[in-house]
Amino acid sequence: MLELRPNCECCGGDLPGDSQDALICSFECTFCKDCNERQLKGQCPNCGGELVKRPPRAAAKLAKYPASTTRIVKEQGCATH
């Protein structure tokens, strides 16, 4: 089951478990659509892997299987590709 991290690692913006704007890599590093479009260009700055749309979790399932509350934010933001 996906961890559903609660925020973008670049800008710190909120990405709730049902967000349509979250992208992840195969390690579940999580970024927002805006940071991806502006600077990441589909590539994870941590592992170099491809960023793909994170599937949103249905509200009924979020109640039983909540998203993570652990926030991860890169101190220096993300480098531009």
**How open is the CA angle 57-21-77, to the nearest 5 degrees?**
120
Residues 6+ apart with CB under 8 A from 60: none
pLDDT at residue 75 in the model: 83
pLDDT-based confidence at residue 80 (cuts at 50, 70, 90): low
CB contact at 8 A, 1 and 7: no
- Count other C-beta atoms under 10 Å from residue 31's C-beta: 29
Tokens of 55: 């599937």
Q: Which CATH superfamily is domain 1-57 in?
A: Zinc/RING finger domain, C3HC4 (zinc finger) (3.30.40.10)
List the chain domain ranges: 1-57
Whole-model pTM: value is 0.91
* Residue-wise pLDDT tens digits, 19-73: 999 999 999 999 999 999 999 999 999 999 999 999 999 999 999 999 999 999 9
